[in-house]
Amino acid sequence: MSDISTMAAAAKIASRKMAVLDKDLKNNALKQISEALTASADRIFEANREDVRIATEQSLETPLLKRLKFDEKKLKEVTDGITSLISLEEPVGKTLLHTTLDDGLELYRVTSPIGVIGVIFESRPDALVQIASLCLKSSNAVFLKGGREAEKTNKVLAEIIYNSGVSAGLPEGWLHLITTREDVNAMLSLDKYIDLLIPRGSNAFVQYIMSNTLIPVMGHADGVCHTYVSDDCDKDLARKVIIDAKTQYVSVCNATETLLLDESLKDSFLPEIAAALRDAGVEIHGDSSVASILGCPEADEWHHEYLDYKISIKLVSGIDEAIDHINTYGSGHTDAIITTSEEKAEKFMDSVDSGSVLVNCSTRFADGFRYGFGAEVGISTSKLHARGPVGLEGLVSYKYKLYGNGHIVADYSSGNKNFKHIRRNV
């Protein structure tokens, strides 16, 4: 317990030094890290083979084993990721607002790092590299907790990244790797030192983190995403988009889990889309009408994140019921409408209370890379701070800088002077 607390205190001190690092130093550190990872490839692969061997003995499931594997291809991906991160705009020190309060009294709102960020991620060791480099680029110190299955790989990766970072001028204590569940629990109480937690993982796990800490949490517990099809839709377009939204990659948070159809479509479109979904290997769970029309099982609840070749289908009386259903049973993640009516599209997008609202395209687009952010920190369903797919801007805060020349408030409260409040272009 006290160990983690000591590490966190050290990270806090390091974070103050990270805050003033020059962008060239940071980009050079990223370059050094990338080169050190490539140079240490054999050591990393060896540690990873050991992790994979143990996981195989313990009969880890195949998808997890696949995620655990760190080979030439994964190494190339993470070093390419670092190269592209180096080319991204410097996220710290950007002026967001400039106002002349009065002659010689200049106010700036400037981006600044958050401080110490705790990231808890699953089995993929490549996530460690990605997260560490994102935190470095945004001048934050970082606490990392990876999956137990990847322990040996993570240890080697963290050591290489930390050491080459320090050699390149990053402060001691800028990165810490923790390994046990007890350490995670200890971390949850360190709101004095840790400014933000980013948990990635299962619904239950993220929910556990969110419910057991006073540290702000960025992320999402679940992605119960909807596609609603309005009676005026283009049916070919609807079919194409729904198949993509459900089946293009089923195990991700932005895949559509519930299909809402206008009830007027129950004869003209429901059989057709059901056949297309079944052809794609999707099992359908319907409301009672859908179940009797299609001869499929009834859905037992509407807040279901399948992450699988399964979908819930419900008939709704129109856009209002669709919006209510989504706001009641959704998770505020990503929801789409298929319609030819601009008016309905706007109503849906304004009324559905989710991070991403889409018209006539696949929910699978809701992603930092596809949105053009260059790097993705995660997807947030919170409405405070960053929402939706989060790029580097989710890892920065801002501060106000006010430059004066002996200005005092008494002059303004007495009426001797008046504020000018001239907004400047930035």
Q: Which of 211, 268, 292, 317 binds its own copies (CB under 8 A)?
A: 211
Using an 8 Å Cβ cutoff, are 348 and 337 in contact? yes
Q: Which among 29-37, 62-70, 171-179, 380-388 is the span making contact with its own copies, rule CB under 8 A?
A: 380-388
List Cα–Cα distances, 97 to 94, 143, 160, 402, 423, in angstroms.
Answer: 9, 31, 39, 12, 8
Number of residues near its own copies (by CB under 8 A) = 77
Q: Which of 114, 144, 158, 250 binds its own copies (CB under 8 A)?
A: 114
C-beta of 412: minimal distance to its own copies in Å?
Answer: 7
Within 297-336, the residues that bind its own copies by CB under 8 A are: 323, 327
DSSP structure string for 291-302 = HHHHT-PBPS-S
Within 74-103, the residues that bind its own copies by CB under 8 A are: 99, 101
Question: What's the CA gap between 111 and 400, in Å, rounded?
Answer: 9
- Residue 115 interacts with its own copies (CB under 8 A): yes or no: yes
Question: Which amino acid is present at 278?
Answer: R
Q: Which among 172-180, 223-231, 241-249, 290-298 is the span making contact with its own copies, rule CB under 8 A?
A: 241-249
List Cα–Cα distances, 399 to 96, 136, 378, in angstroms.
Answer: 10, 19, 24
Q: Which is nearer to its own copies, 181 or 370 (CB)?
A: 370
Q: Give the burial string for 142-176 (b: 16+ CB within 10 Å, else e).
A: bbbbbbebbbbbbbbbbbbbbebbbebebbebbbb
Q: Which of 5, 163, 189, 248 binds its own copies (CB under 8 A)?
A: 248
- Residue 423 interacts with its own copies (CB under 8 A): yes or no: yes
Q: Which is nearer to its own copies, 186 or 245 (CB)?
A: 245
Site map (CB under 8 A) of its own copies, residues 337-356, x = contact: --------x-x-xxx-xxxx
C-beta of 189: minimal distance to its own copies in Å?
Answer: 11
Q: How far is CA 303 from the centre of its chain?
A: 21
- Residue 364 interacts with its own copies (CB under 8 A): yes or no: yes
Question: Which amino acid is present at 168?
Answer: A
Question: What's the CA gap between 106 and 229, in Å, rounded?
Answer: 52
Q: Which of 372, 415, 416, 425 binds its own copies (CB under 8 A)?
A: 372
- Residue 383 interacts with its own copies (CB under 8 A): yes or no: yes
